[in-house]
Amino acid sequence: MVQKRLCTKTLLILTLSAVVLTAPQSGVAQSSQTQQQAPAPAAQSQSNPASLVQAYWHFLNYQNFLDTQAAALEAQGQDGSAVRNQLQNLMGFSDSDYAVIRASLQRMSLEAKALDMQAVALHITGISSANVAQLYALTAQRDADINAEISFLTLQLPPGSMTTFESFLTQNFARYPSRGQITPASGQAIPKPAQP
């Protein structure tokens, strides 16, 4: 239970970090006129969908959520396999094909936890330009880790399964708009993650 709370708090901190990092440089508060001119989220997602890296990140978080819910059902003596296997069944993957994806998700989850702990430590010390730069570096590291996992999947999954997986990610998890290129306080642009 403590680990679940830490994971939830860490996810919240990373989400808040993303909000802080993507906020306008001129200040948090904007005039109501500027806020009214912003396009609707649906329009943003159609014009600038999330990258494959971001879609994989959303997929990882959702599968972890499903695994947690399945474990809670099993702790109550119920069958949690339908919940746990929801995404696998939607894609029509065999147990062996999805085992490769699960292994990738487990590795990425461990890597993300290590990065999350570093982000939590940065937030404890407060917001500073050095911490913001380090948060950008952690985000870039996370994206690099995800690209490595996507490359692993490309090598391990049969070509048809990889195409199905990428299609599924794009259709179901890339709806959230991409924030685009972010420039930290140092003025140097963070490179976008390499696309596989």
Alpha carbon of residue 88 to chain centroid:
19
Q: How far apart are CA 51 and CA 7, in angstroms?
A: 24
Q: How far is CA 108 from CA 8, 76, 112, 149, in A?
A: 16, 28, 6, 7
Per-residue pLDDT, 63:
92
Q: How far apart are CA 113 and CA 154, in angstroms?
A: 24
**pLDDT for residue 125 is more than 60:** yes
For 181-194, write each residue's pLDDT tens digit. Answer: 333 334 444 344 44
Per-residue pLDDT, 82:
95
For 73-107, write each residue's pLDDT tens digit. Answer: 999 999 999 999 999 999 999 999 899 999 998 99
How open is the CA angle 84-146-154, to the nearest 5 degrees? 80
Three-class DSSP category at 49: strand
For 151-181, write each residue's pLDDT tens digit. Answer: 999 999 988 999 999 999 999 888 765 544 3
